[in-house]
Amino acid sequence: MNRQSISAASLGLLLLAAAGSARADEGMWLISNPPRESLKTKYNFEPSEDWLKHMQRSVVRVGMGGTGSIVSPDGLVMTNHHVGLGAIAKLSTKENDLMKNGFYAPTREQELKCPDTEIRLLWDTQDVTDRVNGAVKPGMSTAEAGTARRKLISQIEKECQDGPGGGGGGGFRCQVVTLYQGAKYHVYRYKVFNDVRLVFSPEEVVGSFGGDIDNFEFPRYSLDMTFFRLYEDGKPYKPEHYLSWSADGAKENEPVFVFGHPGRTRRLYTVDHLKFLRDVDLPERMSRVWRNEVKLQGFAGKNAENARIAQSNMRSVANGRKVFTGLLAGLQDPELMGKKINSESELRSFIDRDGANARDWAAAFESVANAERVYREFYNEKATIDAAVGGSGLLSRAFDIVQLADELPKPSAERLREYADPALPSLYLRLYSTEPLYEALEIEKITQALSLLAERLGGDHPLVVAALAGQSPRKRAQDCVWGTDLKDPAARKALVEGGAAAVSTSKDPMLVLAAAFDPRSRELRKLYEDKVESVEREAYAKIAQARFARSGESMYPDATSTLRMSFGTVRGVARDQTPAFTDIGGLFARAQERKGEAEFTLPARWDAAKSKLDLKTPYNFTADCDIIGGNSGSPTVNAKGEVVGLIFDGNVYSLTGDVIYDGENGRSISVDSRGMIEALRKVYNAGTLADELTRK
């Protein structure tokens, strides 16, 4: 069904929201299980199966941590500038810094192919819960049960990908998704695009206007948008479904819908599990993020080129620091934790009244608590090692090569999941990417990883001794970066194809460094899977059964980076007396207010276009839609499925949304559809792109 027929079909589904309603709508709902009763009761809205399928087939996942939407019959994809930041940075050069200058391709021939960007479109889903649970046989230990489930999950993914409609692995990927922390398992089949080309991106200062100061705040004035195009067989993708554009934008108190891929929430965690996050996990992450931010600032401050190549990393680290700070503050707030304690007490009171299952369900809470006590014993070491091998482009690729040499000879279902057959195409895309890996930045990243390793584990730890090989962290990093051949994608490919023999005999210093991490990394991973993950899965499955028994299955699972729907109304925050909308005039006023500060300095083209712009054009707006990290790039649509905005942030009250939703004050923040078109036409002379978006 095309967008025209969807729009026509939706005209009769008018939303009769009560103006000024203070009631927010919590939930990141599965497309297969939307809250139909709630939507009908509150908004007189009944989403048809066609409407839901249309939205599903129009919204995409960009990379592993963002959302986008198809917005034209020629495969145009809209997402955030900060979601596309990695691709834009990889296409930038010292001579032409796209982050600084922006980019626009008025013709197809001028579009830039991204070196390793992958975009996934959810095609269909299937419930495989009974089959996954059927892998567990009587008498199995918890660890054995966990292993059996993981093997069967890999088998299901491979069967899905190789089976009818799977394309034999070409163009489709399959993923088994764990829902409700282990109560349900669904297999998701995605159509995958690897030929992705950059069409438009504004200057970075415009996309993230206000920088760290305004991040998670409102009022906001950001044009946080980027457009890519999907190609298939060398030609623009011709989708059956794509979103139409709203010329009228959003209106205050109007109900709106957000479709996206929220990364992770932990709202169904037990209180003991939340205390583990509060006391162990988040403090460790905060310490590491603060450290990385300071070190990157020092590196970037040395010269202009260092600042350019570190810019996307610095933006990501600063954003993470604010997210973790807000969440940790929430968990340290007795009021928030009191709500979680009361909620759990109510559930446990219900469990105590269940004659058949009370003992089993109640014991599950203690199982989770025991798992977190065990995890405390090795969390610091595991987190430090994981961060070290994952923090550098060269070292992370070397680590994959080392592990592939061990894993590929095994049957697919017996490998570590990220090296099973269904995962290999995406892995190889990154592994063989032509992305520039800057020596100076790689040395800095590996130096800091090795320094942190030595500080956390101690200088005499066997892994530290092996990793440093008798050198200081910086000298070891320099020797590995300067001496490696892995900067060449062809060298990486030759090692993978050469297998264990090639890897074991290689003297490449980066490969030797990666190999030093491999044994202990595997040991800690197995310990985590057997003693923590497997225990949590079994326990949370039982807790979910209790929740279902009390409330039915009309409840949303925690976010899992998979497609979800949320909804709410366009409104400001009464507590702060903030409006629902800002306009382009406010952008110029904010720039004047912070005149002289780099993150508030508009490019010359904006000043030149000011007299042509309608300064009253809505620019950014807020709604009480339930979002989290991963929703960045999500389309905000009206009842007809028309784009009225583009999600790019939440306000400060949304930062606790990982564990609890603040419906009274938490807000999603979107770029208004009208502001986007106004900027494209009058600032960037991108009329061709604006026409493609708005044509009916």
pLDDT in tens, 306-327: 999 999 999 999 999 999 999 9
What's the pLDDT at 16? 34
In order of 86, 108, 258, 650, the CA distances from 670 in angstroms are: 21, 28, 10, 9
Amino acid at 589: A
Choose among 265, 122, 123, 260: nearest CA to 180. 265
**What is the Cα–Cα distance from 673 to 581, expressed in whole angstroms?**
12
**What is the Cα–Cα distance from 308 to 296, expressed in whole angstroms?**
12
What's the pLDDT at 7? 37
pLDDT tens across 496-521, in order?
999 999 999 999 999 999 999 999 99
Residue 276 CA, distance from chain mean position? 23
**What is the Cα–Cα distance from 261 to 92, expressed in whole angstroms?**
27
What's the pLDDT at 202? 98
**What is the Cα–Cα distance from 293 to 317, expressed in whole angstroms?**
6
pLDDT at 168 over 60: no
Edge-to-edge strand list for the sheet holding 635-637? 29-30, 564-569, 255-260, 635-637, 643-650, 668-672, 618-623, 581-583
What's the pLDDT at 166? 54
CATH class of 3-118+194-265+559-694: mainly beta
In the chain, DSSP finds a helix count (H) and a strand count (E) of 26, 19
Q: What is the mean pLDDT of the chain?
A: 93
What's the pLDDT at 553? 79
Q: For residue 218, what pLDDT band results from cuts at 50, 70 and 90?
A: very high
Q: For residue 65, what pLDDT band results from cuts at 50, 70 and 90?
A: confident
> Which contacts (CB < 8 Å, 24+ apart) does range 356-362 have?
357/545, 357/546, 357/549, 360/542, 361/542, 361/543, 361/545, 361/546
pLDDT at 12 over 50: no
Residues 6+ apart with CB under 8 A from 113: 195, 196, 197
3-class DSSP state of 56:
helix
Q: Quick one: CA dihedral 691, 12, 564, 165, positive or negative?
A: negative
What's the pLDDT at 165? 61
For residue 7, the cross-strand partners are none
Q: For residue 20, what pLDDT band results from cuts at 50, 70 and 90?
A: very low
Answer for the pair 44, 16: CB distance below 8 angstroms, yes or no.
yes
Tokens found for residue 222: 């950001």
3-class DSSP state of 59:
strand
What's the pLDDT at 554? 82
For residue 76, the cross-strand partners are 229
pLDDT tens across 444-478, in order?
999 999 999 999 999 999 999 999 999 999 999 99
Answer for the pair 559, 628: CB distance below 8 angstroms, yes or no.
yes
pLDDT tens across 115-142, in order?
999 999 999 999 999 999 999 999 999 9
In 506-529, which positions are buried (b, 16+ CB within 10 angstroms) versus exposed (e)?
bebbbbbbbbbbeebbeebeebbb
Could you give the residue range(s) of every CATH 2.40.10.120 domain in the chain?
Answer: 3-118+194-265+559-694
Element (H or E) spanning 581, and its range?
strand 581-583
3-class DSSP state of 209:
coil
CB-CB neighbours of 19 under 10 Å:
9
Answer for the pair 520, 457: CB distance below 8 angstroms, yes or no.
no
pLDDT tens across 646-670, in order?
999 999 999 999 999 998 999 999 9
pLDDT tens across 259-281, in order?
999 999 999 999 999 999 999 99
pLDDT tens across 230-241, in order?
999 999 999 999
User: Is residue 471 classed exposed, middle or buried when 0-12, 13-18 and 19+ CB atoms within 10 A define those classes?
Assistant: middle
Residue 440 CA, distance from chain mean position? 28
Place of tokens 């996307």: 312
**What is the Cα–Cα distance from 672 to 427, expressed in whole angstroms?**
36
Residues 6+ apart with CB under 8 A from 558: 179, 180, 181, 264, 265, 266, 267, 268
pLDDT tens across 391-418, in order?
999 999 999 999 999 999 999 999 999 9
For residue 103, the cross-strand partners are 201
Amino acid at 204: E
β-strands 112-113, 119-127 pairing: unpaired
Place of tokens 């109304």: 569
> Which contacts (CB < 8 Å, 24+ apart) does range 45-53 have?
45/13, 45/15, 45/255, 45/639, 46/13, 47/13, 48/9, 48/13, 50/1, 50/6, 50/9, 51/6, 51/9, 51/10, 51/13, 51/641, 52/565, 53/1, 53/241
**What is the Cα–Cα distance from 499 to 48, expressed in whole angstroms?**
51
Place of tokens 């509060």: 278
Residues 6+ apart with CB under 8 A from 690: 677, 680, 681
